[in-house]
Amino acid sequence: MLLGTAAWAEGPLERRTLVGRLASGRLADLNRIEAMRLRKLGEGDPERLAEALVPGSLRRLLEGGARALARAKQTLAYAEKWDRRGTLPESLAPSPESADLLPCLPRPAALHRADGTALDRFRVRGPGAELMELPRPGLAVLGLAGGGAAGFCLALEDGGSVLLGAWMVDAWPEGSLELRAGAARRSTPLGAWEGLELPTLRPGEVLLLPVPKLKPLQELLPGAEVLVGTAFETLILRAGPEGIHPTVH
């Protein structure tokens, strides 16, 4: 299951909400889809009940613990069947071209490096962001109520805060972590973190895992495209207008 946060225009207003990625690539508005499902079941006040069961915020979902995460998985499976029938309305599942994907958790409850050092949780950025320093990509783990891990996302420490990928995957990802910039290619198997013991996490906390040992890039020219990828997501970033050099940040 892939969960994230997206925003799109609805007339003069913007909707920003929890989404799940469908096999077609569409973004399932899980809160609204749950409300629609409850309405079809004859539940009273389905919008209010949906907000309690599958809230329109990933942080609030994580605060709901394992039961809330399981409910979101059920809602996503319901949306997937609906989408395969070809009748899922655009209002409940916009195309990725009509929405902006944000960091999967735009405002963490806490944000830390693996050594416990706090980072600025109010300046988290996501897809399309400009890099302030040479990239050292890795993974972050997101905390769930009860102290466990809800899932993992792409992450790069940058400028005292962090860049997060658009998607949280709820199981340990397989394959490799790749870094690409021009002709430069770096790769490491995600098994490099196998056996890592995680501390007790607060719901909505983001903990950066130790950064894998990848050969560093020498520099990035102004506007250079940087891709950080795994099997579940490719995060596209860019160097700033002045470029980035090893000794200049």
Q: Does one domain contain both 46 and 82?
A: yes
- Are residues 9 and 94 part of one domain? yes
Entry pTM: 0.91
Phi and psi (nearest 5°) for 28?
-80, 120
Q: What's the CA gap between 164 and 171, in Å, rounded?
A: 17
Which residue(s) pair with 207 in the sheet? Answer: 112, 141
Spatial CB neighbours of 201, under 8 Å, sequence gap ≥ 6: 141, 142, 143, 144, 147, 148, 149, 207
Domain total for the chain?
Answer: 2
Q: Residue 170 belongs to what domain range?
A: 103-239
Q: What is the pLDDT of residues 16-48, one digit of tens each?
A: 999 999 999 999 999 999 999 999 988 778 999
**Which of these, 66, 127, 108, 104, lies nearest to 206 by C-alpha position?**
108
246 located within any domain: no
Q: Taking a C-beta distance cutoff of 8 angstroms, is the pair 19, 29 a contact?
A: yes
Whether residues 107 and 72 share a domain: the answer is no
Q: Among the three residues 39, 67, 100, which one is the final residue of a domain in this structure?
A: 100
Q: Domain check: are 119 and 219 in the same one?
A: yes
On whether both 95 and 135 belong to a single domain, the answer is: no
**Domain contains 96:** yes
Task: Kindly state whether residues 144 and 179 are assigned to the same domain.
Answer: yes
Closest-CA residue to 170 (of 78, 93, 58): 58
The two tokens of residue 7 are 């925003």
Pair (112, 126) in one structural domain: yes
Q: Is residue 53 part of a domain?
A: yes
- Res. 247 pLDDT band, cuts 50 70 90: low
Query: What CA–CA distance (Å, rounded) separates 108 from 128?
Result: 19
pLDDT at 152: 94
**Is 169's pLDDT higher than 90?**
yes
169-183, 184-198, 216-230: the lowest-pLDDT one: 184-198
Percent of the chain with pLDDT over 70: 98
Q: Tell me, what CATH number does 27's domain have?
A: 2.30.30
Per-residue pLDDT band at 248 (split at 50, 70, 90)? very low
Q: Same structural domain for residues 90 and 107? A: no
Residue 128 lies in a domain: yes
Q: pLDDT of 41-70, one tens digit each? A: 887 789 999 999 999 999 999 999 999 999
My answer on whether 113 and 203 are in the same domain is: yes
Identify whether 144 is part of a domain: yes
User: What is the rounded distance in angstroms from the CA atom of residue 73 to the CA atom of residue 1?
Assistant: 7
Check whether 201 has a pLDDT greater than 90. Answer: yes
Phi-psi region of 157 (alpha: psi -120 to 50; beta: other; left: phi over 0): beta
Residues 119 and 228 in one domain: yes
Q: pLDDT class for 241, splitting at 50, 70, 90?
A: confident
pLDDT tens track for 67-117: 999 999 999 999 999 999 999 999 999 999 999 999 999 999 999 998 889
Last residue of a domain, one of 65, 100, 135: 100
Residue 25 burial (CB < 10 Å; 0-12/13-18/19+)?
A: exposed
Tell me which of 49, 77, 100 is where a domain ends.
100
